[in-house]
Amino acid sequence: PGIDLFFGLSDGWDESAGGNIVYVDGSGEYTKTLVTGNMLVIVERKKGVQKFAQYVNHRAQNKKLYLIRATIH
């Protein structure tokens, strides 16, 4: 449990390239946060909820995406 902060930097990131942050609870329910160019995402994560970054696919080509993550417990 805690608060997750994501700060993303990119120039022209295509959402179809993936890289989304996904939160999954124990029952299989999930929430997906879309990654965009310049973003700040704040998520309150409950006990038992896991997070992962969805794969980045070939549509990213040579674009770069920088994610800075912090967790407050």
- Per DSSP, the residues of 50-69 read EEEEPPB-GGGTT--EEEEE
Average pLDDT, the chain: 91
Q: How many Å apart are CA 37 and CA 9, to the nearest integer?
A: 6
* pLDDT of res. 17: 92
20-42: average pLDDT: 90
pLDDT band (50, 70, 90) for residue 38: confident
* pLDDT of res. 59: 92
Please say whether the beta carbons of 17 and 59 come within 8 A: yes
Q: Is the pLDDT of residue 57 over 90?
A: yes
* pLDDT of res. 26: 86
